[in-house]
Structure 1
Amino acid sequence: MCSLLLLAACSKKVEKAEDIRPVRVMVLSPANADVISEFPGAVQARYESQLGFRVGGKIIARQADVGTVVKRGQVLMRLDPKDLQLAQAQAVAALSSATSSRDMAKADLKRYQELRDKNFVSQAVLDSKDTAFKAAQATYDQAQAALKGQLNQTAYATLESDVDGVVTAISAEAGQVVAAGTPVVNVARQGAKEVVVGVPENQVDKLRRSGDVQVRLWADPKQVIRGAVREVSPIADPVTRTYAIKIAIPDSAPNVKLGMTAYAAFASKTSDDAIKVPLTALLRVQDHSAVWVVEHGAVRQVPVRVVGQQGNDVLIQGALGGGQQVVTAGVNQLKPGQKVTILNAPESSAPAGNIAAPSPVASNAVPTSSAASGAVQ
């Protein structure tokens, strides 16, 4: 019994250590910054024609490949001309027959006019000969027009390029029977080019009014090309559910080739109370975004609204002010009132600068702006 009392007297109560989390923070400063929305796209020709034969038939020759640079009048494909040549021969024979009939009617009319002058025939007989000649003349004119039309039909068996450009697609091969008007070759006209990007529906109206568009090529990210929004599709793509925006670029832009992967960055100004923070500072809470603010050694959760994105940073609005410290790392390990210790010296959030050059990625990569929007909205 004495031993137990001695042990109880010697033992001390162990105090629970306070949970203090290390975090990194930054000092906020409002900035009227550039909101950068960047989307991948491709370089396309502003004018592209889908060419097809004006007559139906069987293709016997294809004389161009995808990527072939063609001149105006250059032959692209040919149809089997046998049926058209037979129809042309028939038209020639019809014209020859009509010519003979017209000449005969003309000679008869001349003879009967001489007989009428000598009063050997009546006026009624002369009138009938005149009518026969006019009918023969009309038949001749009809046959002549039919021959010209058939000559055109025969010429249509050869498909020629109507512009200087490059072949971008071929949808028919030799041996295939095609109907009149079926597109078989796509030719992009040389000259004006544009970049086509797909944007989500919640950004169409904002980007439509953007007056500052910068285009960069994946092959040469250092080259900046100034563009202008030329056209915004009124309907969404049925597959991607995005709206196509066509951006005109100068013809003088060097090293721009059709089909190249490009990035279009749309810049616009935020409101005065927008604040830029790293994407890592955002915390998703139920149906809204929030940040952690450090006050008196503890954190407090503040709801915010995302109004823009620039690279790995986002622009937010909320009950925040300049000089406050916001946690930029370890946000998922905190809880309201959590005691924290700051690992780094606080850094001020600087206003957004110029558009950063996009890092080369695969052409099917998800747009940076779309990924950020989906994560924080």
Structure 2
Amino acid sequence: MRKTSNAIHLLATLLLITACDEKQTAQVEQPLRPVRTIVASATDGITGRDFPGIVIAENKADLSFRVSGKLKELLIKEGDKVKQGQILARLDQTDFKIALEDKQASYIKAKANFTRSAKLIEPGHISQREFDQIKATYSTSSAHLKAAKQNLIYTELKAPFDGSITKTYVDNFEEVLGKGKIATLQDLKSMEIEIDVPESLMIRVRRGQNNRAIHARFDAIKGEEFPLTFREISTQADETTHAYKLRFALPTIENYTILPGMTATVVADSVPTVDQDSSKNEIIIPAHAVMEDNRGRYVFIAEPEISSPTTGVVHRRDVTTSRLTNSGLIITSGIHPADLVITAGMSKMQEGLRVRLMVDIELLGQQP
């Protein structure tokens, strides 16, 4: 009986010790998991963005003959400077002169027939129908003669404006087709820079605004920027890229040779947008911060606690995305500027989890 009592007492003591250990274990606070975050930033999509541009001549023309034939004289070479009206190339005119003589003879004959028939129609020696046919033949021969004269003129290729020959495409004695490129003429005194702007950014540009600080940079000209003046914009997007072309006038750059085809970087310092409310602007975050499940795409944000700005509570936010850019993935809805977006360890996050924030405390003051 005494042995049974001792056993019961020992068992009770062990249970009490175990309960105390469990209580002490429960009271030990687990360390918070550190998370890396970034502050979501809003952008109007254009301000401060770099656009690759290409230098083009303000006046440029791909020159071609309007008729086909054998190239007899190519009077230019690449790099030549030419004046407006200067003959650049000439086709063999032999066949064109023969054709002109043939049309001339046909015209003389048709004119003579028309003159005689005009005197015979009133006395009734020929019918009105015959006269109409003779008159039509005369009109047709006159048109053919004019075309033959014009084709002979077209055998000479002339410069439409002053400029420089930047490229030639044929050699002497080649057979060339009408409208086939012979040379490219550019006016190198006046240059422009052309950029492509995606439609998603183009739609945000406010029309009628000229107070845009836009300048160009050249990699080979270190430390210098050149102001640009807006010139024109295409109203039709490219069918392949869905981008709109913008052109800017480039001022004359002293001590440097700027030629068509050179590349530049165009920077828009300030571009007014349709909606100036920053809460409706685009937000760009790293693409790897966006996850996806059967509910769609989402991110985890950390909401700082009032008691301690270095700790926060994790929340899931479903988001709508636009396109991927060099700066990151554009978020169109779901998060707001100054939200702390978790960028590492997302697979271990869950709703309501307390975490330690790895972000500059100064940035937390930006949160609305």
| 2:320–2:332 CA contact under 8 A, matched in 1 | yes
2:158 and 2:282 map into 1 onto residues whose CA distance is 57
After superposition, the Cα gap between the structure-2 partners of 1:265 and 1:177, relative to the gap in structure 1 and judged at 3 Å, is same
Q: Give, as a single letter, the amino acid of the residue that structure 1 aligns with 2:346.
A: N
Aligned match of 1:346:
361
Give the AA of the match of 2:201.
Answer: Q
Q: TM-score, normalised by structure 2?
A: 0.58
Instruction: Give the conservation status (yes or no) of the 8 Å contact 1:191–1:251.
Output: no
Structure 1 equivalent of residue 302 of structure 2: 293
Report the residue type matching 2:252 in the other structure. Answer: S
AA aligned opposite 2:228: R
Q: Is the 8 A contact 1:31 1:272 kept in 2?
A: yes
Taking the aligned partners of 1:34 and 1:52, their CA distance within structure 2 comes to 40
Tell me, in whole angstroms, the C-alpha distance in 2 between the residues paired with 1:290 and 1:46. Answer: 48
Which residue number in structure 2 is paired with residue 225 of structure 1? 227
Give the Cα–Cα distance (whole angstroms) in 2 for the partners of residues 156 and 85 of structure 1.
Answer: 12
CA distance in 1, matches of 2:150, 2:337: 77
For residue 95 of structure 2, give the secondary structure of its aligned residue in structure 1.
helix
Deviates more, 1:250-259 or 1:48-57: 250-259
Q: Please say if 1:186 is aligned against 2:181.
A: no
Deviation at 1:165, TM superposition (A): 1.7
Q: What is the aligned length?
A: 297
Q: Identity over aligned residues, as a percent?
A: 20
Deviations 1:330-368 (A, max 9, x none): 2635513333223454232899xxxxxxxxxxxxxxxxx
Which residue is equivalent to 1:62?
A: 74
Residues in 2 aligned to 1:300 and 1:333: alpha-carbon distance in whole angstroms? 12
Distance in 1, matches of 2:283 and 2:66, equals: 61
Write out aligned runs for 1:30-109 (5 A). 35-84=47-96
Residue 245 of structure 2 is aligned to residue 239 of structure 1: no
Question: What amino acid is the match of 2:272?
Answer: S
Q: Which whole-Å CA distance do the structure 2 matches of 1:178 and 1:31 have between them? A: 53
Partner of 2:201: helix, strand, or coil?
A: helix
CA distance in 1, matches of 2:49, 2:100: 61
CA distance in 2, matches of 1:36, 1:339: 36
Alignment correspondent of 1:257: 259
Name the TM-score, length of structure 1 as normaliser. Answer: 0.57
CA distance in 2, matches of 1:350, 1:44: 47
Secondary structure in 1 matching 2:279: coil
Distance in 2, matches of 1:158 and 1:150, equals 14
Residues 91 and 43 of structure 1: is their aligned pair in 2 closer, same or farther, counting only changes over 3 Å? Answer: same
* Pairwise CA distance, 1:164: 1.4
Q: Distance in 2 between matches of 1:178 and 1:248?
A: 36
Map 1:265-344; keep pairs closer than 5 Å.
265-266=267-268, 267-268=271-272, 270-273=276-279, 279-280=285-286, 283-286=289-292, 287-288=296-297, 290=299, 292-296=301-305, 297-301=311-315, 303=317, 312=327, 320=336, 326-327=340-341, 329-330=343-344, 332=346, 334-336=348-350, 337-344=352-359
State whether structure 2 residue 218 is matched by structure 1 residue 204: no
| Deviation per residue, 1:276-324 (Å, 9 max, x gap) | 98734983244556451243334323646789999858797766576x7
Q: Deviations over 1:140-161 (max 9, x none)?
A: xx99xx7x99787555433222
SS of match in other structure, 1:259: coil
Alignment equivalent of 1:161, drawn from 150, 154, 159: 159
Mean CA deviation greater in 38-47 or 307-316: 307-316
8 Å CA contact retained: 1:208, 1:232 = no
Counterpart code for 2:90: R
| Aligned counterparts of 2:284 and 2:148: Cα–Cα separation in 1 | 72
Distance 1:229 1:282 in 2: 39
* Equivalent position amino acid for 1:58 in 2: K
Q: Unaligned regions of 5+ residues in structure 2, if any?
A: 1-9, 110-140, 306-310
Following superposition, the deviation at residue 58 of structure 1 comes to 0.5
Task: Check conservation: 1:23, 1:340, Cα contact below 8 A.
Answer: yes
| In 2: Cα distance, 1:20 partner to 1:330 partner | 15
Change over 3 Å in CA distance of 1:273–1:227 after alignment to 2: same
Structure 2 counterpart of 1:244, which letter?
A: Y
